[in-house]
Amino acid sequence: MLVVERHEASKSQYFLLIFAPDFTVFDMRRKIEILAPAKNLYQGMAAVNAGADAVYIGAPLFGARTNATNSLEDIAEMVKYAHLFKAKVLVTLNTIFYDNELEDCRKLIHELYRIGVDAIIVQDMAILEMDLPPIAIHASTQANNRDAAHVKFLADAGMKRVVLARELNLDQVREIHEASEVELEFFVTGALCVSFSGNCYMSIANGERSANRGSCAQNCRLPYQLIDGNGNVLIQNSHLLSIKDLDLSDELPNLIKAGVSSFKIEGRLKDVVYVKNNTSYLRKKLDTFLESNADLYEKASSGRTFYNFEPELDRSFNRGYTDYFVNQRHAKIGSWESPKSKGQYIGNLLEMKANGYVIENHDKLNNGDGLFFVNEQGEAEGVNVNIIVNDIVVPNTLKPLPIGTEIYRNYDAEYNRILENENSAVRKIGVKMHFSETENGFQLQVIDEDGHTCTTSMDAPKEVAKNTEGLVDNVKKNLAKTGNTPFMVDEIEVDFAQNWFLPNSKVNEIRRIALEQLIETRIKEYQREEKPIVKTDHPYPVKELDFTYNVSNKLARKFYQRHGVTEIEKAFELQWDPGKSRVMVTKYCVKYELGKCPRFQRATMGTKLAEPLTLKHGEVEYKLKFNCKPCEMEIWEKDAELVLEDEFAE
């Protein structure tokens, strides 16, 4: 007997099939996923409606965003709604734990499994030592996922997916993919953490707020002075560690071919406009690629999304965009003027006239918009648009600006109004209906695009209609009225032996009952992928772990020891040496931003900078150390004794 297993994206087409020895046929296309942030239940549902194949959401405890927690009841509702569309729900448990929290964490994971969560995202290896249900576990980007050996180790230890470090380039992603079959996830849009994720200690070193415990104070977004080794102030009050936001939307095909299966949108603290805009934009981009490569890849969830707006990334929160290091280091990536949203470029200032501005492309603007610009002192400023009269944009506060100033819109009043409407993005699952007669009445069979079937019967007297004109068309018209349900009718077949009279109310009733049953069936028959954790003892790639591995409890220590690690330093939070610690390692480089990189800008760099360079904000100071061979910058507290490297040598 030939059994055909068909995936759930498009039942109307046949694709690349592999025959197993028992003659079972498997569709080997790789599912490609858009993973959207969910600050809460409402935004998670909005993300699914906008086309997300999965959402990630914070639990009541242990998430790396303490301002984005959710109750178990809301997560359970999120699970039901997402699973209706075959979309997944991932829960973030990506802080490090102290010993007295381990049992609470274990209990929480059992609860998350019970309510149907698809996977948890973790940083702390203590979780792999716990007695857990067979819930899938994903390694957070905070788990140092930067090289093939480390990622393969995590895969062999039981991780179903690994969230790669943002700093990787395409060649490194490809190398990791070739070393292991583990699923790979990669950030594709949103804010960038300037530090290697999980290895930033600026926040706790200056205020006892640990980023690895979910309470980052965002010291990197503050203004700093840059002071050279001779005490000269090179730059005054600039946001020298603030970098642009990520946009890899044009790299989706290359990243997919390199091995990435899940594309993650940063932003569990962002608003619903940002979430819907980013998700919709990527959905359209990805669908275009999938349609052209349907023999190799498929969408990871069901349904089609319809929009009453045109997604544009720069019309919601952004600091300007960079592709970071995915195509190697090639452009400046700093956002030094401001850590706030820059928004969409409108045009240059042409003239100051009467009580307002004459701006290129002013017809793009609306009353209530927010404008962003950089003044003559190099400082970011903004005004709101009160009214636009003829060609004059009248702001709430008129600020003198030089002609030619670039004007951006960082609050789009009309666009926000549209996206805040829950009907701006509507997702529908395609169904086929077969309406026929039975011995005692009528029957409606509904088959959805994934093959789920519901059949509803209704007893009713069968009377031949006196007026048969348009009878079948009228039945079809009423069956097609799916309204606010998650379904849309692609095909209707009415199979009557005679032209039976049937009141509209009866047709509507049987349709309503059938679609309600189909919702229940889809949720009930959703198949969660499970993965039991089996304790392993394969060797970890290194024998000694410093504080950047964030080992903060006995179970994590036990995990690494079982895998051959002999020296384990305590997490920064447990052994911080005030004033003398290294608080960050980053691929971002202040020298490169200044055009003073001895590796890539030697021919044009001019005079060398006197080191060490120092960043100063108020009374807080940091020293910068540049490791040119690995192309990394370290940030140390002011009392640290640095050994400075010689200039990079080819």
Is the pLDDT score of 7 beyond 70? Answer: no
| Element containing residue 477 per DSSP (H, E) | helix 471-479
Dist CA 421 CA 273 (whole Å): 10
Query: Could you give the count of Cα atoms lying within 13 Å of 486 in the half-sphere of its Cβ?
Result: 26
CB 127 within 8 A of CB 93: yes
What pLDDT shows up at residue 1? 28
pLDDT band at 645 (very low <50, low <70, confident <90, very high): low
Q: CA separation (Å) from 641 to 195, 222, 441, 636, 645?
A: 21, 24, 88, 9, 13
The DSSP H or E segment spanning 425 is strand 425-437
3-state class (DSSP) for residue 281: helix
Look at 85 and 66; give whichever has higher pLDDT: 85
- Distance from C-alpha of 623 to C-alpha of 53, rounded to nearest angstrom: 43
Average pLDDT over residues 477-484: 95
Q: What token pair was written down for 356?
A: 């307002």
Cβ proximity of 19 and 277 under 8 Å: no
pLDDT at res. 646: 56
Give residue 9's pLDDT.
36
Q: Contact 335/374 with Cβ under 8 angstroms?
A: no
Express each pLDDT in 318-330 by its tens digit: 999 999 999 999 9
Tens of pLDDT along 374-389? 999 889 999 999 999 9
Residue 68: CA count within 13 A, CB half-sphere: 27
Q: How far apart are CA 429 and CA 489, in angstroms?
A: 8
The conformational region for residue 158 under phi > 0 = left, psi -120 to 50 = alpha, else beta, is left
d(CA 411, CA 246): 19
348 or 576: which carries more pLDDT confidence?
348
pLDDT at 385: 98
State how far the Cα of 473 lies from the Cα of 462, in Å rounded to an integer. Answer: 18
- pTM of this prediction? 0.93
- Return the pLDDT at 342: 95
- pLDDT the model gives residue 22: 53
Q: List, for residues 23-45, the tens digit of each pLDDT value.
A: 445 568 999 999 999 999 999 99
- CA–CA gap between residue 196 and residue 142 (Å, rounded): 8
Q: If you average pLDDT over residues 134-155, what whole number do you get?
A: 97
pLDDT, mean of residues 362-375: 96
For residue 165, the 8-state DSSP code is -
Angle between helices 471-479 and 504-524 (to 10 degrees): 40
pLDDT given for residue 607 in this prediction: 92
